[in-house]
Chains A and B, each alone.
Chain A
Amino acid sequence: MAINFVLNDSPVSLDVEPDMPLLWAVRESAGLHGTKFGCGMALCGACTVHLDGKAIRSCVTPVSSIQGKQVRTIEGLASKPARAVQDAWIEMQVPQCGYCQSGQIMSATALLERNQIPTDADIDAAMSGNICRCATYQRIRAAIHRAGQRLSAEQPGSA
Chain B
Amino acid sequence: MTLTVSRLKHMSCLLLAVALLCICKPTFAENDESTLSTEDVLRVVLLRDYNTRVVIAGTGLLGLSAGLIGSFALLRRRALLGDALSHATLPGIGIAFLIQALAGGDGKWMPGLLLGGVISGGIGTLSILGIGRLRRMKEDAALGIVLSVFFGAGIAILVLIQQMEAGHAAGLESFIYGKTASMLGRDAWLIGLAGFIASLIAVVLFKELRLLCFDAVYARSQGFPQAFLDLVLMALIMIVTIVGLQAVGLILIIALLVIPPAAARFWTNRMGLMTLSAAIIGMFSAAIGSAVSALFPRLPSGATIVLTCSLIFLVSMLFGFTNGRVLHWLRRIRLHRTVGGQHLLRAVYEQIELAQETNPELKPETSVVPVAAVLAMRSWSAWELKSIIRRAEGEGWVVWLPNQTLRLTAEGLTRAKRLAHEHRLWELYLITHADIAPSKVDRDADMIEHILQPSMIAELERLLEAETPLGQVPPSPHPLSAELIDSNANQSTRRKEGRS
Are A and B subunits of one complex? no
